């Protein structure tokens, strides 16, 4: 696992690769390349990623503020799914978040995404609330989860 260090010279390529992984994983629900670039540039964003043969195959991103973080995206390229890459990446990222004094991590997940919820529960996240009609296309509730670090 590597952390993106916000190098201006590598920003465009990193944003592009994140976009490609997201597009492959999420299809029409992916952020745009411009949205990734804008998020990556934010001072409070943190990205960890895995590479294979010089290409990003998975990444996880967070927004950090004071002593709390929010999981923004976790994506594994379809060709590399079902190999626990996402789980390992998230576990390693949780360790890194602890090192920078984060005390809690929050996330939203589609109510229908039972596989993701299973992973989060396995990693000791707990459901704390529901946001009605949070997602679009299709409209769906979000389960809000929290993990103390």
Catalytic residues: 108, 120
- The SS3 assignment for 49 reads strand
Provide the CA 24 distance to its chain's centre, in angstroms.
Answer: 15
Cα 73 to Cα 9, 43, 53, 148: the distances in Å are 23, 17, 22, 19
Strand, coil or helix: 149: coil
Q: Report the distance separating Cα 93 and Cα 16, nearest Å.
A: 21
Task: DSSP letter for 136, please.
Answer: T
Residues 73, 65: Cα–Cα separation, whole Å: 16
Helix (H) or strand (E) holding 119: helix 114-122
């Amino acid at each position: 696992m590597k952390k993106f260090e916000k190098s201006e010279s590598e920003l465009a390529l990193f944003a592009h690769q994140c976009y490609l992984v997201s597009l492959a994983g999420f299809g029409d629900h992916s952020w745009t390349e411009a949205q990734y670039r804008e998020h990556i540039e934010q001072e409070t964003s943190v990205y960890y990623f895995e590479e294979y043969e010089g290409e990003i195959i998975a990444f996880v991103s967070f927004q950090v503020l004071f002593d709390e973080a929010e999981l923004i995206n976790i994506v594994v390229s379809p060709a590399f799914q079902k190999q626990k890459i996402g789980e390992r990446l998230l576990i390693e990222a949780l360790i890194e978040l602890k090192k920078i004094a984060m005390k809690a991590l929050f996330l939203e997940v589609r109510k229908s995404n039972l596989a993701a919820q299973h992973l989060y529960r396995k990693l000791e996240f707990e459901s704390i609330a529901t946001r009605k009609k949070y997602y679009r296309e299709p409209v769906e509730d979000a389960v809000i989860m929290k993990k103390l670090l």
